[in-house]
Structure 1
Amino acid sequence: MTNEDHTATGPEGSLLLDDQLCFALYAAQRAVTSSYRPLLDELGLTYPQYLVLLVLWERGEIAVKELATALRLDYGTVSPLLKRLEAAGLVRRERAAHDERSVLVACTGRGEELRERAACVPGALLAATGLEAPEVARLREELWRLAAKAEAAAHP
């Protein structure tokens, strides 16, 4: 079969790599995450750790289960992230007084101080990519719409 045979029905029926929506998303995600790397290296953070801190800066003390939901990750993925952030002195974890099964997580003073240094990250990423704020807003809106549709398809 030639490439023409694969695309005869249009891109939606194509098996060409560059025609795959999932691959375009994957490549974009890797490129954007890579663009964050030098900015986050200056803060001593990985991209997933940065995401954890964004949630904590926004919401304050939160149950680990709620944090995992906000990040769309499972508990087993969030727990090692929190252990590393705790070892770095950026977050603290403790059992909830009202429910021993629930673990609460919050930024330490050092984690809150990092917030000021991180304030330049979103703008620096925009500058690095050359994207304008309206374009970013449009892309973000479309991606959230796609995420909602894909989630609904995955869990009908």
Structure 2
Amino acid sequence: MTKASSTQPPADLDPFEDFLCFSVYSTGLAFNRIYKPLLDRLGLTYLQYLAILALARQDGQTVSELGEKLFLESNTLTPLLKRLEGAGLVERRRSTEDERVVRITLTQEGRETAQQARCVPAELMKSTGLAGEELDVLNRALKKLRGELRDGREGEQDDG
């Protein structure tokens, strides 16, 4: 909820207007509608796009390192990486030192796709209608909120 509350929520509480979690959720859906045509041109889903970007920044990450960056468990990440491998964008290789460790590297086609994807953020930002400074403030606030929630801090329970 965005309104201050005591232990009892107000009777007139509107989850579609007053719940912070719904605002974040529905904003995510709106982002996905903007991303879809941009990423369809590249043949990627949003999570595949993020994986390609993360590997373009630091190639050769382990599956667990990549999962931490993307906030994904291995049971979600592994099928995603298999699809990227099937598309010829990444290679998965077991470490020679510890075969439990799998490293992910971009192929040449994966590097080219990452290069083509560089225009996506600018196109997306135009769609927000917000100035750069407004986006920076919002992004910092959301990252702080994510950190608080991820750390399990409860504080006042005033979000829906």
Would you call these one fold, judging by a TM-score over 0.5?
yes
Q: State the 1:11 CA deviation.
A: 5.2
Q: Which runs of 5+ in 2 are unaligned?
A: 155-160
User: In the alignment, is residue 96 of structure 1 matched against residue 102 of structure 2?
Assistant: no
Instruction: Find the counterpart in structure 2 of residue 110 from structure 1.
Output: 109
Moved over 6 A (4+): none
TM-score with structure 2 setting the length: 0.86
User: In the alignment, is residue 24 of structure 1 matched against residue 19 of structure 2?
Assistant: no
Q: State the 1:16 CA deviation.
A: 2.3
Q: Which runs of 5+ in 1 are unaligned?
A: 1-9
Q: More displaced, 126-135 or 35-44?
A: 126-135
Q: State the 1:32 CA deviation.
A: 0.8
Matches of 1:74 and 1:113, distance apart in 2: 27
Matches of 2:96 and 2:67, distance apart in 1: 20
Instruction: Find the counterpart in structure 2 of residue 71 from structure 1.
Output: 70
TM-score with structure 1 setting the length: 0.88
Matches of 1:154 and 1:102, distance apart in 2: 32
Q: Deviations over 1:64-117 (max 9, x none)?
A: 011101111100000010011000000000101111010110110000011221
Identity %: 41
Q: Deviations over 1:119-144 (max 9, x none)?
A: 11010001122222211111110000
RMSD: 1.5
Q: Is the 8 A contact 1:93 1:103 kept in 2?
A: yes
Structure 2: which amino acid aligns with 1:22? Answer: C
Q: State the 1:154 CA deviation.
A: 5.9
Q: More displaced, 82-91 or 114-123?
A: 114-123
